[in-house]
Amino acid sequence: MTIFLALLPAYILSIFYRSFLSVIANPVMTDLGIGPRELGFLGAAWFITFALAQFPVGWALDRLGPRRTVAVTMAIGSAGAFLFATATHAVTGTLGMAMIGLGCSPIFMSALFLFAWTQDPKRFGFLTSVFIGLGSIGNLVGAGPLAVAAARFGWRPSMLVVAGCFLAATVVAAALVRDPPRAKAASGGHEGLLKGLQSILALRPLWLLAPITLTGYAIIATARGLWIAPFMSGVHGFDAIAGGHVATSMALTMIAGAFLYGGLEQRLGRGKPLVLWGTVLTALCFIALALWGDAHSALAIGLFALIGATGFTYAVLMAHARLFFPEHLIGRGMTFVNFLFIAGAAAIQSGSGWFIAEQRQAGLDAATTFAHLHWGFAALLLVPSAIYAFMPERPVKS
């Protein structure tokens, strides 16, 4: 399918850039002269610009089409990738990550936009899950392989190679993406950016979906993207390569979870129970990690793997939200939901870095610090799950 050929390479890199920092956290902090608080903000910079870009990206998809939207933003992201790889201090590193976040911001949404306009609606959740599952190869590359490459060649040369790949993916996307027919004016397609946002906010069921959207993906992204390797090194004494392999195991289960959730959603025709009970199970895994994660490294690895499989409900939750958007708001509606996903990740990544730094300053050891973090993650999953339980499965037909 042309959509996969055009956008999957770029999406693989987008997934890579939201998850790679934990693996090279120590050399990056050393070279840039930063601590865990600044590392958290460095990772959050990608998510902040990605999230803020969702509003103009949604408008651009509905009004201009994905081709120009992707080409312009990914060109900026390519420049940011090279800037980050050559950064010598926190400011340029953060700016580079912010530019990459902008470059990645329309990739996934453009694929979903094209699925929504060119494919059978019944296949939307399945195609989204497959796209996410294949895109999660970026999670794998940003784990063990990056750890090995960084140990052998250094993190800067490794990231320069990735920057070259981002530039190549930009050229491929600009050449292959084609714009579908646009929404009809009679349905409200000429609504501007703010008017469209007002129409989205008027969809009351989405208010019940917002809390779990803000925290569900964010916590998985933060655990995998920032703290899994520092946890394994600080609590269990793993070196960088061994920690990278643990991140790889979690990345693999995230891929498996994406395909499993997509297949179940297509077979059952119901996404809400999958999201609800998957999130509850993920919270229970974080509770187990808080209680016993320091006891045995094998248990911690197994719990992280299970968290990756059960917590990756991103695609099914997006498909559930999709049911409530009229055609003329498909682009803006889905990018608004994606804004919630990514804004939550930005907040939790930045907040978790601050939290870890505060715990260290209080004199707590690594095991206690991460246990407190995992208790917090569990709470941030269980409370939104209780709210999401009241979300209707489908729009009420008038």
Q: What is the pLDDT of residue 259?
A: 84
Task: Specify the pLDDT at position 164.
Answer: 97
> What per-residue confidence (pLDDT) applies to 199?
77
DSSP 397: P
The pLDDT value recorded for residue 194 is 66
Which residues, 6+ apart, have CB-to-CB distance to 334 below 8 Å?
A: 58, 109, 112, 113, 116, 318, 321, 322, 325
pLDDT number for residue 47: 84
How far CA 342 is from CA of 52, 117, 207, 249, 254, in Å, comes to: 9, 24, 17, 23, 17
Q: Rounded CA gap, 212 and 164, in Å? A: 36
- The pLDDT score that the predictor gives to residue 190 is 56
pLDDT tens, 11-57?
999 999 987 887 888 899 889 988 888 888 888 889 889 888 888 88
The values of phi and psi at residue 102, to 5°, are -65, -45
Asked whether the predicted pLDDT for residue 67 surpasses 50, the reply is: yes
How many percent of the chain have pLDDT more than 70?
A: 95
Encode pLDDT of 74-83 as tens digits: 999 999 999 9
Is the pLDDT at 212 greater than 50, yes or no?
yes
How far, in Å, CA of 252 to CA of 308, rounded?
A: 8
Q: Is the pLDDT of residue 344 over 70?
A: yes
pLDDT score of 104: 95
pLDDT of residue 346: 80
Reported pTM: 0.75
CB 169 within 8 A of CB 10: yes
- How far, in Å, CA of 53 to CA of 99, rounded? 11
- By the 8 A CB rule, do 340 and 213 touch? yes
Q: What is the pLDDT of residue 186?
A: 37
Residue 183: the pLDDT is: 46
Between 245 and 377, the higher pLDDT residue = 377
CB 100 within 8 Å of CB 47: no
What spatial distance separates the first Cα and last Cα of the chain, rounded to whole Å? 36
Q: How confident is the model at residue 193 (pLDDT cuts 50, 70, 90)?
A: low
Question: What is the per-residue pLDDT across 85-108, written as a single tens digit (0 to 9) for each?
Answer: 999 888 999 999 999 999 999 998
Asked if the model's pLDDT at residue 152 lies above 70, the reply is: yes
Alpha helices in the chain (DSSP H): 2-17, 25-32, 36-63, 66-85, 90-104, 107-118, 124-135, 137-141, 144-153, 155-176, 193-201, 205-222, 228-236, 240-268, 272-292, 297-311, 314-322, 330-361, 366-388
Sign of CA dihedral 83, 46, 353, 373: negative
pLDDT at site 182:
59
- Residue 219 vs residue 60, higher pLDDT: 219
pLDDT exceeds cutoff 60 at 289 = yes
pLDDT of residue 398: 52
Q: How far is CA 310 from the centre of its chain?
A: 15
Taking 80 as the threshold, does the pLDDT of residue 229 lie above it?
Answer: yes
SS3 readout for 99-122: HHHHHHCCHHHHHHHHHHHHCCHH
The answer, yes or no, to whether residue 310 has pLDDT greater than 90, is yes
Q: What is the pLDDT of residue 324?
A: 86
